[in-house]
A and B are shown apart, each in its own frame.
Chain A
Amino acid sequence: MKAFRWWWGILLAFALLAVARVFLPLPFVNEVVIFSIYTMGCSFLLGRVGLISFGQPAYLAVGAYGTAFYMFYFGANPYIGILLGVLSGLVVSFIVGPLFVRLRSDYFALVNLALAVIVFYLMQKVLVGITKGDNGLWFLTSIASTPVLNLGKPSHFFIFALLVALAVWAFYKYLDDSIYGACCLATKINEDKLRFLGYSNYSVRLLAFVIANTTTALAGAMYAVYLGFVSPEISSPSRAADPVIVTILGGVGTLYGPIVGAFAYTGMKDVISKLIGNWELFIGFLLVFIMLAGEKGIWGSLQPLLEKLLFRKRSTTGTADSGEAHR
């Protein structure tokens, strides 16, 4: 029962996503699932550790290219490709992490942006012999079909993405509940007190940085397999703020914010660009409005309402439970 109570929120969220698959076009829901994994890293950094990063595309590209190099030059198994993409994200964030997390939060944001630009030009111009420049690496046709879930097929890919996202969310929920999650919040709110308690701010931040950016690299690897090609456009600096916007839109630091945000953002992008063809205007002013209205985001404002509804229900079931116990 206890285990069920821990799991039910996540299961419900993903059950809703699975139901959405029936009503909405498949590319849309695939995009939403991958985008929400992408945003999860940024949301964790911003909401739990207080580090804002405008350079998430850098790690997305590292994951995507890690997968693409394997798929294009060496093998055909998409699972190994994704694993290698995640691994390359892990390695890169371990290399740059110790340098970056020492910096103050405003400098941190900009240094990450700088990294995104460096990765962009590295892939577009400098390593043009390996990355094929702007043409990108195409390997959609060479993805080997695997026995259980054939990742080459979008419908199978959706099931895989959903399972991966489920695992990611369970992991982050576990982190939130653990002592480490409390340390992360403490380093955001009052780093002196955390130091006083005998924890190192530096190592808490470094671990958070590595976890978040490995998650981002996972999203990149999944983009690579899903689209079947990777081009430098993936780390384009002009898209650098997307995950930050989605994080704010969904609600900073909440567990389900990234899903809600990714859903709303992808949906609005599709609908508004069809209607008035000028969605930046809308997104920009929505962002300002959310910030001025108390930076809670969509999920952050919905959550209290839902809890109120559920609390009323649970209080009635709660008395029923205790009644049973008495009997």
Chain B
Amino acid sequence: MSAQLLISGVIFGLSIGSIFFLMAIGLSLCFGLMRIISLDQLLYYSIGAYITYSLSLATGSVWLGVLGGLVVAGIAAFAVERLVFRRIYERELTFSMITSFGILIGGIGVIKFFWGVVPRPVPVPMMVQIDIVGTEVPVYRLIVIGIAVLVYVGIWLFLNRTIIGKAIRAGIENVEHVEGLGINVSRLFTITFIIAGALSGLAGGLHAPLIMVDPSMGLEVLAFVFMVVIIGGLGSIKGTLISAFIVGQVVSLGSLIYAPLAQMAPFAIMLLILLIKPTGLYGSALLKR
């Protein structure tokens, strides 16, 4: 394998990993704090992508579209949390899984209703390529990686330096104690859910120019996002980041070696990791309260 192919493969893997990370972080936070598995994050991802498509068509700026996607996805997440999840926090894990899956397919139906079933292209906002050790690399992919790193730093600062973030971290350990300290846990849940939804929307908006936008795009990445969360360990942000980049590299470099490997290798790795360490790389033995 030539060095040029390798470098572009690694960059491709990192940018795919960044998208996976942005989506998985929401799932991971939701599981950690509320103990729900929120499959509807994939709906906010599709919403983000579609809003990006429509706004970039209307205003000509993809970046504005991404911003709009982030906001609309956050609003949708807020509505769903208020209407549905509020009622099911105390239920079993499988319960939230099935309910959120219902929201996901219902939402796909809504998207089909508004935008139709035809895949839509979104223009790449920056066509510039730069030279890294003799390889032409698209700047847009580097920006995607940069945004993911920024989000990681931002989330880290939020969780470690602000009162709400500290309350969220404490809530992951023990919600009753946080409630006992006089913090409004139900508002904490809402804030976390909105953050998760908005980040999924951001992932959708950033991913839109790299692929075609179609209604079932959420289902296509579902398996990969879950794999990222499982390999990293449910409820751990650091594990999510590391496993997102592992999965990204496996998908990208695997497809360079042997094309069908790109889809299968990550699953094989996930099975292997789960058999060795059933809670994932950084997961603790978090159980349903």
- Chain A contacts to B: CB under 8 angstroms: 46, 50, 52, 99, 102-107, 109-111, 113-115, 117-118, 121-122, 124-126, 237-238, 241, 244-245, 248, 278-288, 291-292, 295
- Return 25 A-B CB contacts under 8 Å, by A number: A52-B97, A106-B37, A107-B278, A109-B97, A111-B274, A113-B223, A114-B223, A117-B223, A121-B260, A121-B263, A125-B263, A238-B220, A244-B98, A244-B101, A279-B109, A281-B106, A281-B108, A281-B109, A282-B109, A284-B102, A284-B103, A284-B108, A287-B98, A288-B84, A291-B99
Bound-state CA distance A281–B113 (Å) is: 9
- Chain B contacts to A: CB under 8 angstroms: 37, 84, 87-88, 93-95, 97-99, 101-110, 112-113, 216, 219-220, 222-223, 226-227, 230, 234, 259-260, 263-264, 267-268, 270-271, 274-275, 278, 287
Bound-state CA distance A262–B138 (Å) is: 49
In the complex, the answer to whether B107 meets A284 with C-beta atoms within 8 Å is: yes
In the complex, the answer to whether B94 meets A106 with C-beta atoms within 8 Å is: yes
Bound-state CA distance A295–B96 (Å) is: 12
Bound-state CA distance A113–B266 (Å) is: 13
| A residues in contact with B101, CB < 8 Å | 241, 244-245, 287
In the complex, the answer to whether A109 meets B88 with C-beta atoms within 8 Å is: no
| B residues in contact with A287, CB < 8 Å | 98-99, 101-102, 105-106
In the complex, the answer to whether B268 meets A118 with C-beta atoms within 8 Å is: yes
Closest to B96 in A: A291
Q: A292 contacts which of B87, B94, B275 (Cβ < 8 Å)? A: B87
Main secondary structure on B side of the interface with A: helix
Closest to B264 in A: A121
Bound-state CA distance A111–B231 (Å) is: 11
Bound-state CA distance A125–B259 (Å) is: 9
Closest to B262 in A: A121
In the complex, the answer to whether B230 meets A110 with C-beta atoms within 8 Å is: yes
Report A215 CB to chain B, min CB distance, Å: 20
Bound-state CA distance A238–B216 (Å) is: 9
| A residues in contact with B287, CB < 8 Å | 104
In the complex, the answer to whether B271 meets A111 with C-beta atoms within 8 Å is: yes
In the complex, the answer to whether A103 meets B112 with C-beta atoms within 8 Å is: no
Q: A280-B112, A287-B98 are in contact. List 10 more A-B contacts (CB 8 A).
A: A103-B274, A104-B287, A106-B97, A109-B94, A114-B267, A237-B223, A284-B104, A285-B106, A287-B99, A288-B103
Bound-state CA distance A295–B275 (Å) is: 32
The total of Cβ contacts below 8 Å across the A-B interface reads 121
Interface core residue of B102, B230, B260 (most chain A CB under 10 Å): B102
Closest to A295 in B: B95
| A residues in contact with B220, CB < 8 Å | 238
| B residues in contact with A292, CB < 8 Å | 84, 87-88, 99
Closest to A109 in B: B97
Bound-state CA distance A295–B88 (Å) is: 12
Bound-state CA distance A288–B99 (Å) is: 5
In the complex, the answer to whether B88 meets A280 with C-beta atoms within 8 Å is: no
| A residues in contact with B226, CB < 8 Å | 110, 113
In the complex, the answer to whether A52 meets B109 with C-beta atoms within 8 Å is: no
In the complex, the answer to whether A278 meets B113 with C-beta atoms within 8 Å is: yes
Closest to A289 in B: B102
Bound-state CA distance A232–B278 (Å) is: 30
| A residues in contact with B234, CB < 8 Å | 106
Report A149 CB to chain B, min CB distance, Å: 38
Q: B264 contacts which of A122, A248, A279 (Cβ < 8 Å)? A: A122
| B residues in contact with A117, CB < 8 Å | 223, 263-264, 267
Closest to A99 in B: B275
In the complex, the answer to whether A291 meets B267 with C-beta atoms within 8 Å is: no
Bound-state CA distance A117–B226 (Å) is: 12
Report B140 CB to chain A, min CB distance, Å: 28
| B residues in contact with A46, CB < 8 Å | 94
Bound-state CA distance A199–B98 (Å) is: 30
In the complex, the answer to whether B271 meets A288 with C-beta atoms within 8 Å is: no
Report B221 CB to chain A, min CB distance, Å: 11
In the complex, the answer to whether A291 meets B112 with C-beta atoms within 8 Å is: no
Report A279 CB to chain B, min CB distance, Å: 8
Closest to B278 in A: A103
| B residues in contact with A241, CB < 8 Å | 101, 105
| B residues in contact with A110, CB < 8 Å | 226-227, 230
In the complex, the answer to whether A52 meets B105 with C-beta atoms within 8 Å is: no
Closest to A50 in B: B94
Bound-state CA distance A295–B95 (Å) is: 9
